[in-house]
Amino acid sequence: MMVLETILYLIAYPPLWHVLIVGLLGAFFTAVVAIWFERKTAARVQRRIGPYWASPRLGGFLNLIADMIRYILQEVIIPRSVDRVPFVLAPVAAFVISIMPMAFVPLSPYEKFWPVPNMDYSLLLALAISTVPPLMSIIGGWASNNKFSIIGSIRESYVITAYELIFVISLLSAAATYTSLNLLTIVNAQSPIAWLLFLNPIAFLAAFLAVLMSTSAFPFEIPESEHEVVGGPYTEYSGILYALNMGGAYVRRFIYAVIMSLVFLGGWAPYVPPADGPLFAIIIPSLIVAIKAVILVLIMSFLRAVYGRYRLDQALDSAWRLVLPMALIGLGWGIVLGLIL
Amino acid sequence: MSISEGTLGELRSKGVEVRRIDKEYYEIFIGPQHPGSGHMRFRVKLDGDIIVDADPDIGYVHRTMEKLSEGREWLKITPLVERMTIIDACNITLPYINALEKLMDKRPSTRASYLRVLLCEMNRIASHLYGFGIFGVFIGHSTAYMWGFGDREVFVELSEILTGTRLTYTYHIPGGVRRDMPQDFPQMVRRAVRYMRSRMPEYEKIFLNNPVIVTRLKDVGVITKNRAAELGVVGPTLRGSGIRYDVRLAEPYEVYGEIDFEVPVFEDGDALARTWVRVEEIKQSLNIMEQAIDWLERHRDEPVIPKEDYDKLPKLHKEVYEKSGRVKLLPAQISMKVPPGKAVARGEAGRGEIFYYVESDGGTMPYRLRVVTPSARNAIVFKRILPGHRLMDLPTVYGSIDYFAPEADR
Amino acid sequence: MGVGVGGACAKGEGKVYAGNLNVAAKRARDIILGKLKLGEVVDWATTFSLWPVHLVTSCCGAEFAATWSPRFDAEQYGALPWISPRQTNFIIIEGTVTRKMACALRITYEQMAHPKFVIAMGACALDGGLFYNSYNVVKPWEIVPVDVYIAGCPPPPEALARAILDLRKKIREKKMASNWLREGWRGDVEYPMPKEDPCKWWQP
Amino acid sequence: MPPRAVTKSVRKTGGLFDGVKSNVEALIIGVKYFIDPKRMTMFYPKEYLEHRPGYRGFIVLKKEVCISCAACARICPSAAMKMVRVSEVDPKEPAKQRQKQYPVINYQRCIFCGYCVDVCPVEALYHLPFHDVTYESLGDMFLTLDLFQKEPLRPVEKEGVPVVYEVDETLGLVKRERKGGG
Amino acid sequence: MSLPELGEEIRVRLGVLAREVKVAKGFVEVVTGRETLREVAKTLKEMGFDHVKSVTAVDYPKEGKIRVTYHASSFLNEELSRFMVGLSVDLPRDKPVVETLYPIWNSVEFMEREVYEFFGVIFEGHPDLRPLLLAPDLAEKKVMRKDFVVREESIYEGVPHEYK
């Protein structure tokens, strides 16, 4: 028993568990699952089968693995006209920084399982770091020295200005309700079933739309919109660098979904983790959080099949005119909730 | 900040290619390898996000049909001109055959005429669904693409049963058609018509009334009535602008004059109206198909080949026709001579009016064959309508006029 | 640059680089193909990840599009039409290639990342088809090296699906993808880019 | 009633209620198809399309019927059908050699229009009901006289079962397996 | 109204401007000179022919002329939309220059460019007279003229060697 216990403790060693296993592997796995799910859902709605022959029993799941291997081992073209250092570094940095917010996210109520000590501003820190990767894609697009990439970068900058504010405001409603910026406090306050999703659905909807916009999912897939700007910031990327870029967006979507599932979906609630043993204290609660996040990601993937793409100005228009007021109403209602509770 | 002439000279001396560009505008080249361009290239000048100048550079699919037709026999030209728009092959070759029939003073039998109309309408639906699908994927709605192409397969399958091939039918010959329909064809057509009718509301829900799509299409690429007439645009683009013009209405060819159908016209002139024209036309084409198949079923005994021609046929030809409905050609038809003269004919293809000018000098080949296709006439829209729109409207306008580059370039 | 990251030294220059890229790449290649024997995996992955680039040369594009329609759905083979040539590995030449398009075809092919493959679709892409004597039509196999040819005008979607299957078989049999890692070229043919420049008519 | 033009107008949309309603309708349609996809996909190598007899596929020559009239080569719009002269044993007088010409086909150019089959005065040419054969080299596509008389091998016949598509009222196209094979 | 009646009306309306007005198969043919082309076009436009369907050029090397025909019709006038009128002008083959009809019918823009590149007909006053479809080096050859010959293969040509 001691051996098993030790292995479990080793797995649950906070930096390893949080950032590498739930963070990197989880994000990687989610990226693959989300892409697979996106392709299969679209295929179902569109009356066809989608990826199939790579592994007919698994519904073509291995096809995504094949895509990944192909991208990793394909030639990497670095055109002569690009600015090399930022061109190569930007996707790598974007991918790495995308996972970083995991370090500040509690996946268990007990501090000993955390990579960083409990602090009162964990929500703010996670948010702050999550806003860096888009800057990296702007840098990559600019370094590509391609006209389409530059247009894509500019669009990305427009879009992030719009969505960041909305996302932050709608998450602040939670902070206002529970008068705390500590994610742990927010999660604990929602247990077991008083989730903010039910208490404050407007803020949840605003945050959901903001995540859609930020990770350029349909109908807000504007920076990469292929029919005008070919791939936006990623036009010139090839091989593994492109795979990092493409995976990065899905990883980001997953991280946002984790934050949202903590803030709005009650984290590991309705499960109440006991204090002893890593299996019950950390592994199961973090799986619950991950599953909630995956469900959110899959819902976002489903929208691809139903919606087209907004025009840039229309998307910004709806962001400022519709979603921002929504987020503000959510914030107001959050304050009211805070006064009531 | 501007670069001084000295710096430029320095750069040039190092072998760097330096070219002055219009510094006020951002110039981008869209196509031919571009997911939103198809087989053509746009040279777009942008002021911020606004297009100030768009110059369509077409001709990437110019296969010199007009020139080649001057060296080929009359019968060989049908497959040649068909390749302009293989997705609309029946509509696109019919006016050529009509012009030829005018020159030869020959009329097809009524049954052949109805078969032509039936295939033309199936083709029109397939062509509209194709355009609809491409339009969908241009604005990021991949479900519209897949649904359009999936339902198009129904009509492609029907025309395969009728003609023996999926797209390039080469179905018309002067004075008739090449095949009669099989026995179980009417039931299939009726089933397809009923199916398509039941699908139309679903299209409307997921695409046409979808708020994202409506926002995207409304008031984009507006062509007013007078401007449409001035630019000479055709087809759904014209009818979306409120002009009541359709060749089937203005100069009914074949048996269109006897069939009861509507030509839908919308007044708004924007991309949404043009899309609605297509949808309404699909509904009307279904009506026409039903009427044509009713007639064909009622007149089962009427021959495809006119009586006097049929008697002249050799025994084998008659046998094959009786057995499989295939109309065999005579070797004499290869090098048939057409009386000298000029003829024009027009027809309503899926994308609009197609115009043929045929001139014969009495030989076995045309002296001059001129085709003006709907897409060639709509190409001017890019140049005149795009300026003032945003860059993201380019695919919207492109898709809404349903431009098909091989058709325009011939 | 740190010291001793890769442990590889470029000799003969009098300098010691840590992590010389070429040496490191060669070593990685040796490990992947030699020790781990991943060549098979690479070939397998490439066969299920043939992403055609979005270059529609002519009207066979209608059947190309129909091949990805619900009825035939070429996505079941893992082929997904993609947008930028940098991220794809596969061209389907859809019909006639005119002189203007030949230039675009060559540029697109050159922009693609190795290993890359070509299918020529339709009579026009083989010998000109109906337009064999046209003054504006060129033969695509003079522009890019072609792997599989399909007859027909246009070939039906199932023929294109067949071509994708045949190309897959060819990649597996001739180890075209892993040969690229080994030798820098597919290995089954010499670098066959014809010398003539299809873009010579173009003046900026 | 004769054809007539009718002016229609686009449904006016606007307002919060309408927007929500249309959004929900679109989502419901999406979910409906997600739950019941109504697929029409053919799993190609496992199943292959069985065309009807009139399908214009690959062309085969019946040499013993051919009368060397060259009508097929003359009508070919893309000059894919060529006449070749061969000397062969005269069937009537076995001692003698005779010069005769036969058509051969160049699939590099053939556009499958079926003119040659239709113009042949003795029905010496016929279509096969399939089209899915590919070639690895251009040289193989110019068939010799011997090859032109044989039906080309259809690789998919070994790999799968034939299916036929039928037009259906509710599903569009319905795939049905045909019993017996090939 | 029928086609002959329309021909009569056009004849009356144009008077001496037209050299010849006759009813051909499917359209009314009006032949005029290079100088009067614009005026005739203007008159036709006033009659209601608001757009051009086609600008067709035909090369007659024996007579040494190129005939350019504008096929005009109407969209806005439903009565006239049933008919077409072909406005022709004969140009000398060695120096085919004619005034553009762009100011009268905007729809001729791309079609005149096409005639320019295929036949070398120069439309004076056209705002943007460049080749439309062809690459610039081919456009100089005036490919649609009859002296640019495209050869067809015979039925014995190009067979493999073993049969020769």
Secondary structure of C166-203 in the HEC alphabet?
A: HHHHHHHHHCHHHHHHHHCCCCCCCCCCCCCCCCCCCC
The interface predicted TM-score of the complex, written ipTM, equals 0.86
Instruction: Kindly give the pairing relationship between strand D97-105 and strand D125-127.
Output: unpaired
For the CA atoms of A63, A68, A73, A74, what is the dihedral angle to 10 degrees? 80
Do B77 and B50 share a structural domain? Answer: no
Q: Residue B282 is part of which domain span?
A: 66-299+330-409
* Chain A residue with minimum CA distance to D28: A306
Residue C16 clears pLDDT 50, i.e. is over it: no
Residue C20 clears pLDDT 70, i.e. is over it: no
- Does residue D101 form part of some domain? yes
- Does residue D118 form part of some domain? yes
Rounded to whole angstroms, the Cα distance separating B309 from B177 reads: 13
A204 and A167 Cβ atoms separated by less than 8 Å: no
Q: Which helix (H) or strand (E) holds E91?
A: strand E85-92
Res B178: pLDDT: 86
B264-284 burial: b if 16+ Cβ within 10 Å, else e:
bbbbbbbbbbbbbbbbbbbeb
Distances from the Cα of C169 to the Cα of A181, A311, B206, B392, C147, angstroms: 58, 43, 40, 41, 11
Residue A17 clears pLDDT 70, i.e. is over it: no
Res A12: pLDDT: 64
- Does residue B306 form part of some domain? no
Alpha helices in E25-70 (DSSP H): 37-47
Q: How confident is the model at residue C4 (pLDDT cuts 50, 70, 90)?
A: very low
Res D168: pLDDT: 82
Select the residue from B62, B344, B354 to test the E interface by mutation, using most E Cβ atoms within 10 A: B344
Of B60, B61, B149, which has the smallest distance from its Cβ to C70's Cβ? B149
Select the residue from C100, C121, C124, C131 to test the B interface by mutation, using most B Cβ atoms within 10 A: C100
CATH number of E3-148: 3.30.460.80
Do B73 and B42 share a structural domain? Answer: no
Which tens digits make up the pLDDT trace of D23-67? Answer: 888 888 888 888 888 888 888 888 888 888 888 888 888 888 888
Rounded to whole angstroms, the Cα distance separating A12 from A14 reads: 6
pLDDT over 90 percentage in chain C: 0
**Encoded amino acid at B230, one letter:** E
Rounded to whole angstroms, the Cα distance separating E147 from E50 reads: 35
CB atoms within 10 A of CB E128: 12
For the CA atoms of D48, D49, D52, D56, what is the dihedral angle to 10 degrees? -100
Chains A, E in contact, 3 or more Cβ pairs below 8 Å = no
For the CA atoms of D120, D125, D129, D133, what is the dihedral angle to 10 degrees? -120
Do B83 and B18 share a structural domain? Answer: no
Res A13: pLDDT: 67
Q: How confident is the model at residue C3 (pLDDT cuts 50, 70, 90)?
A: very low
Residue D75's Cβ-side half-sphere holds a number of Cα atoms within 13 Å equal to 24
C65 and B127 Cβ atoms separated by less than 8 Å: no
B358 and B103 Cβ atoms separated by less than 8 Å: yes
Select the residue from D7, D72, D84 to test the E interface by mutation, using most E Cβ atoms within 10 A: D84
What angle, 0 to 180 degrees and rounded to 10, lies between the N-to-C axes of helices A147-178 and A324-340? 20
Residue D169 clears pLDDT 70, i.e. is over it: yes
Q: Report the predicted TM-score, pTM, of the whole model to 2 decimal places.
A: 0.88
Distances from the Cα of B104 to the Cα of B99, B337, B364, E71, angstroms: 9, 9, 12, 22
* Chain C residue with minimum CA distance to A234: C84
CB atoms within 10 A of CB B36: 23
Residue D181 clears pLDDT 50, i.e. is over it: no
> Which of these, D124, D126, D173, C152, lies nearest to B324 by C-alpha position?
D126
B115 and B296 Cβ atoms separated by less than 8 Å: yes
Select the residue from E110, E130, E143 to test the B interface by mutation, using most B Cβ atoms within 10 A: E110
Q: Using CB atoms, which chains have 3+ pairs under 8 A with B?
A: A, C, D, E
> Which of these, D107, D104, D111, D112, lies nearest to D70 by C-alpha position?
D104
A12 and A282 Cβ atoms separated by less than 8 Å: yes
User: Do you know the residue count of chain E?
Assistant: 164
Q: How far is CA C142 from the centre of its chain?
A: 15
| Subunit contact C49:A238, Cβ cutoff 8 A | no
Rounded to whole angstroms, the Cα distance separating B76 from A138 reads: 56
Residue D72 clears pLDDT 80, i.e. is over it: yes
Cα of first residue to Cα of last residue in chain A, in angstroms, is: 45
Cα of first residue to Cα of last residue in chain D, in angstroms, is: 49
What angle, 0 to 180 degrees and rounded to 10, lies between the N-to-C axes of helices A122-130 and A239-263? 150
B residues 365-384 closer than 8 Å to E (CB): 367-368, 370, 372, 376-377, 379-380, 383
Q: A317 in contact with B at a CB cutoff of 8 Å? A: no
Beta carbons within 8 Å of E2's beta carbon, 6+ residues apart: none
More confident residue, E19 or C3: E19
Do B43 and B192 share a structural domain? Answer: no
More confident residue, D95 or C92: C92
Which residues on chain A are in Cβ contact (under 8 Å) with D37?
43-45, 47-48
C49-176: CATH class: alpha beta
Rounded to whole angstroms, the Cα distance separating B39 from C98 reads: 11
Name the minimum distance, in Å, from the CA of C134 to any CA of chain B: 6
**Encoded amino acid at B175, one letter:** G
Name the minimum distance, in Å, from the CA of B223 to any CA of chain D: 16
Do B199 and B132 share a structural domain? Answer: yes
Res C14: pLDDT: 41
| Subunit contact A151:B391, Cβ cutoff 8 A | yes
* Chain D residue with minimum CA distance to E158: D82
E17 and E40 Cβ atoms separated by less than 8 Å: yes
Res C143: pLDDT: 82
Q: Residue D116 is part of which domain span?
A: 59-151
Task: Show me where the domains of chain C are located.
Answer: 49-176
For the CA atoms of A66, A68, A70, A75, what is the dihedral angle to 10 degrees? 180
> What is residue B179's DSSP assignment?
B
- Does residue B323 form part of some domain? no
**Encoded amino acid at B111, one letter:** R
Q: How confident is the model at residue E162 (pLDDT cuts 50, 70, 90)?
A: low
Do B240 and B207 share a structural domain? Answer: yes
Q: Which helix (H) or strand (E) holds E65?
A: strand E65-73
Res C204: pLDDT: 52
Instruction: Kindly give the pairing relationship between strand C137-138 and strand C97-98.
Output: antiparallel
Please state the φ and ψ torsions of residue D157, each to the nearest 5 degrees.
-65, -30
Phi-psi region of A274 (alpha: psi -120 to 50; beta: other; left: phi over 0): beta
B150 and B143 Cβ atoms separated by less than 8 Å: no
Rounded to whole angstroms, the Cα distance separating A79 from A230 reads: 17
Rounded to whole angstroms, the Cα distance separating E76 from E49 reads: 9
> What is residue B350's DSSP assignment?
T
pLDDT < 70: residue spans in chain B: 1-5, 11, 14-23, 36-37
Which residues on chain B are in Cβ contact (under 8 Å) with A307?
140-141, 210, 212
With H, G, I as helix, E, B as strand and everything else as coil, classify residue B70: coil
| Subunit contact E150:C133, Cβ cutoff 8 A | yes
Residue E164 clears pLDDT 60, i.e. is over it: no
Please state the φ and ψ torsions of residue B246, each to the nearest 5 degrees.
-155, 135
Rounded to whole angstroms, the Cα distance separating B318 from B330 reads: 12
Q: Residue A148 is part of which domain span?
A: 2-340
Which tens digits make up the pLDDT trace of C100-147? Answer: 888 888 888 888 887 888 888 888 888 888 888 888 888 888 888 888
* Chain C residue with minimum CA distance to A68: C45
Burial of B182 (0-12, 13-18, 19+ CB in 10 A): middle
Counted domains in chain D: 1
pLDDT over 70 percentage in chain E: 97
Do B109 and B172 share a structural domain? Answer: yes
Q: Which helix (H) or strand (E) holds B376?
A: helix B374-378
Q: C140 in contact with B at a CB cutoff of 8 Å? A: no
Do B248 and B170 share a structural domain? Answer: yes
A246-268 burial: b if 16+ Cβ within 10 Å, else e:
bbbbbbbbbbbbbbbbbbbbbbb
D126 and D118 Cβ atoms separated by less than 8 Å: no
Q: How confident is the model at residue A265 (pLDDT cuts 50, 70, 90)?
A: confident
Distances from the Cα of B317 to the Cα of B322, B328, D124, D127, D142, angstroms: 9, 6, 13, 17, 30
Give the CA angle between residues C25, C31, C33 to the nearest 5°. 95
Of D26, D34, D38, which has the smallest distance from its Cβ to A41's Cβ? D34
D145 and D103 Cβ atoms separated by less than 8 Å: no
Residue C116's Cβ-side half-sphere holds a number of Cα atoms within 13 Å equal to 28
E78-107 burial: b if 16+ Cβ within 10 Å, else e:
eebbbbbbbbbbbbebeebebbbbbebbbb
> Which of these, B97, B91, B92, B86, lies nearest to B168 by C-alpha position?
B86
